[in-house]
């Protein structure tokens, strides 16, 4: 794994996390690092799920992107609920 791929994963995670956070209903009280982690996980899981089903030979796959965004929204909502419940217990 190169430094470029690490930075690429962080950037993609940030973008997907922010999109997921924007599309999730309500206000999410989670830190930016958690948003990035959720976005990175959504990108990875979306690629694993949709990757074998790819029908395009191009460099961009809309189906994969939509799956990643949906997973990011779900992940942000889950992370926000778990983070806020953990934070309220302290």
Which one is predicted more confidently, 53 or 3?
3
| DSSP string over 20-31 | HHHHSSS-----
Mean pLDDT of 30-57: 83
Considering the entire predicted model, what is its pTM? Answer: 0.80
- Helix and strand numbers, DSSP H then E, in the chain: 3, 0
- Confidence class of residue 78 from pLDDT cuts 50, 70 and 90? very high
- Confidence class of residue 1 from pLDDT cuts 50, 70 and 90? low
Establish how many alpha carbons lie within 13 A of residue 53's alpha carbon, considering only the half-sphere containing its beta carbon: 10
**Domain definitions of the chain by residue range:** 3-89
Distance CA 82, CA 48 (A): 25
Distance CA 65, CA 69 (A): 6
Residue 64: the pLDDT is 81
């Amino acid at each position: 794994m190169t430094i470029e791929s690490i930075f690429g994963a962080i950037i993609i995670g940030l973008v997907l996390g922010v999109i997921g956070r924007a599309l999730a209903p309500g206000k999410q009280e989670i830190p930016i690092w958690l948003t990035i982690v959720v976005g990175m996980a959504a990108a990875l899981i979306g690629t694993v799920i949709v990757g074998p089903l790819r029908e395009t030979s191009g460099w961009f796959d809309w189906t994969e992107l939509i799956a990643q965004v949906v997973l990011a929204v779900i992940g942000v909502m889950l992370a926000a609920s778990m983070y806020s419940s953990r934070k309220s217990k302290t």
